[in-house]
Structures are given as structure tokens and as C-alpha cells.
Structure 1
């Protein structure tokens, strides 16, 4: 993600080296440099690639001595697949309505693997990446526990069961799930605010995820109020926004993996014009046009 404190310069790279060395000793062209996920370093100083695969909208950290690969695409991929499956269930795809199929993904891939990716982000000095990936890894582990029958959190005879019927009391159970989802909506809003100077694709990832949490939380509260039709539509809306978030996460993950050494094409992530990188690109373009 974008290094907001020490942005690189395409002109600088072009003048000093002609082409910046990329991953595996390959050389990146100016076209590669416009892909903020391209693994490009100038000869003067190793710099974090710009927004997207690096999960770096915050403080600058030099990557000169780091011995870790970029963990963000792994975390994004783990998040994307688990979100995709849950969103398909929320949409009621092919008549599937029980979310228990998400449990193994939530505990294994979306949970443990994403949590590990967040810890590796911590190791490379990326505060935002560590916070985001570790937190969503924790979310999936918690959600998997919530759905695990042996824990019986939302099951019959559980803590939210009615004493009279021993069945889950929607007045408590659905509200409790709504509290759970509302908390994640608030947290995601905080992260969303940290992407406003990044790229369009990265911002859209958190924007759609934020809306997914909001719709699902409202769906739970509507169920609590016996507004079953509204609850169903809100849950489906949450599934739709979750599906968009999943594909945007895969998009950003691919942008963090692909460069000239392994792909025939690079995908754009579209810097906001008010971002550091956006202003830099405009300045470089203006200088080239003047020349």
C-alpha cells in the first residue's frame, strides 16, 4: 500500500536506473511502476510498493533489511474465500441457508491463516496490515465458534434459549448476533477512514465490507422485531455486499502478487487524485508533457 510519508518517484527511477529491479532479479518498466502492487525498488532505497497488496496506508517502514515476503495477498485471499462462501449462504444460493459449511473455512483458512498473515505484517512493520488482517482473522475464528454446535451458543438449551420452550429466543439470540455484527461494522468503518487516501479498489473493498456488516446487523435486529421479510432482504443485501467485498479482496490480492516476472498483465488499482501517489503521477505526467 501507499507509502504516504516517503512516496517514490517514477521520474527518479527512470533517470537513475532506466528500469527498476523487480522480483527475482527481473526489471520493471514504467508501466510496471504504475501498478502500485508491482514489486519495485529503486537503487537509492528500498521502498514499500504502493497501496493494495502491501496493506500499508500508514507509517513508512523501510523494507531494505526485511526477510519476509509480502504477507498481505495471503491474508486477502483467506478473507476473500471465507467471505465468498458465507455470502453465498446469506444470498440463499442454490437453496443453501445453513451457514455451518463456513465453520471449517472460518477456523482454518479465514481464521488461522489470516491471523498468521496479520502477525507477519506486524513483523514487517505494517501497523495497518497487522491490525486489519489479525482482527478479521479473529473475527472468523469467533464466528466459527459461534456456529459450532458443540459450543451451543445459539442452539437449544443454550444461553439464549427460552426457559419455557428450551428453543432459542429470537428476542435475545438475534439481538446478541446483532451486537456482534454492529461491533465489526464500527471497526470496519475505522479502517475505511484509513483508506481514503489510498486507491479506489482498496477503498471499495472496505466500503462494501462495511455495508455488508451493516446490512447483516440490521437483518438480525429486524428478525428480533419479527419483521421476517425485512430481515430476509437485509440478509440477502448483506450477502450481496459481502460477495462484492470477496471479489475486491481477490482483486487486491492478485494486484499484490502479479508483476512482470510472473504475469502477462497487471491490473490497475486507480489512485485517488488527492493521494500522494495520485499527485505524484499528475506531476510526472505534467513534466513529461512539458518536455
Structure 2
């Protein structure tokens, strides 16, 4: 029995939510826009990724399981933090939250060296995003946060592309949108 590929769902949830938050981080929108990001983080960014991760389990895809469930949990924790706890947590600690997600993303990026080029680029851009956002919090420099927002936008575009490639290539039964060597996302 052929199992459907859950990766495009997880990638789309990740890309959409990352795009929305990154527009705020890049300075395109004020904090008034964040409640929509939080709703999206729960309903799509978090939930779709956790579901995609769990659906990777029967496929035997450890990388997909760990990546999607972890980043789904990231979005849930981010939304919970901003909504209920942000005013009570010192900024430096928030920087550590972002930095440790960067550490996780760095070793996941290393694991992508056995995957296609598109997956590698998503994780590289995400790692840089987390690093810039952490530096922005620690140094109090808006420039790092804005740069993190722009790299986050690049990350989202890469993830949207990979999601689209997985869906379109499978629908057509051939490579329409190339993703690099190994031509399968996860």
C-alpha cells in the first residue's frame, strides 16, 4: 500500500506561518499583526506540522518525524509564550530560546546533507534566521531582527517551493519543479 507523502503539508504549514511572522520581524507590520500569527501558529503552523510529523512515522522517516513534530511544537510554544508569558520573561532568556532552536536546526541541517538541495537550503536559511533573531534579542539591535525577518522570508519561500514541488511533481509523475539531487523531499 502506498502512503501519501505528508511532507508538503508540513512544509506548507511551516512556510505560511514563517512568512507571516517574518513580515512582522522584517518591520513590514507592527505588533498589532501578531495575533493573526498566533492563530496561524496554532491552527496551521503547529497542528499541520505535528500531524505531518506523526504521518512520517509509518513511512519510517525519522528525519521527517523529528523535524515536523519539533517545529510544530515550536509554533505551539511560540504562540503560548507570546499570548500568556512574554511580559514575564527576560529578553535574554528569549534569546536563548531562539538560539537553542538554532542549535537544533543546525544539526538537522547537517542531516539534510543526505537529502535534496531544496531541503538543505530550507534548513540553512532557517538556521541563519534563528541565529539573527537571537542576536537581535541579545544585542537589542533592531537590525539583526530585521535581517532575521528577511532571511525568514527567504526561508518561507524556499519551504513553499519545496511543498509545491512535492505536490506538483507527484501529480504529474515527473519532475516539473526541480529540487536537486535525490528528487524526493524527505
Structure 1 residues 260 and 118, CA gap change in structure 2 (3 angstroms): closer
Distance 1:181 1:252 in 2: 24
Contact 2:169 2:177 in 1 (8 A): no
Structure 1 residues 235 and 73, CA gap change in structure 2 (3 angstroms): same
TM-score normalised according to structure 1 size: 0.59
TM-score normalised according to structure 2 size: 0.91
Q: Which runs of 5+ in 1 are unaligned?
A: 1-64, 161-172, 224-230, 272-276, 279-291
Match in the other structure for 1:254: 164
Q: Which runs of 5+ in 2 are unaligned?
A: none
Distance 1:185 1:246 in 2: 16
After superposition, what is the alpha-carbon deviation per residue over 1:231-287, rounded to whole angstroms, capped at 9, x for unaligned?
A: 21000111011101101001111111113745997111122xxxxx59xxxxxxxxx
SS in 2 for 1:269: coil
Match in the other structure for 1:85: 20
Match in the other structure for 2:46: 111
Structure 1 residues 197 and 125, CA gap change in structure 2 (3 angstroms): closer
Runs of 4+ residues over 6 Å off in structure 1: none
Residue 222 in structure 1 maps to residue 154 in structure 2: no
Match in the other structure for 2:125: 208
Equivalent residue for 1:154, pick from 83, 86, 89: 86
SS in 1 for 2:169: coil
Q: Which has the higher contact order (CA 8 A, sep 6+)?
A: 2
More helix by share: 2
Distance 1:87 1:187 in 2: 19
Distance 2:102 2:171 in 1: 38
- When Rg is computed on C-alpha atoms for both structures, the one with the higher figure is 1
Residue 233 in structure 1 maps to residue 165 in structure 2: no
Counting only pairs closer than 5 Å after superposition, residues 1-291 of structure 1 correspond to structure 2 as 65-66=1-2, 68-93=3-28, 95-98=29-32, 99-148=34-83, 151=84, 153-155=85-87, 158=88, 160=89, 173-223=90-140, 231-259=141-169, 261-262=171-172, 266-271=176-181, 277=182
Match in the other structure for 1:11: none
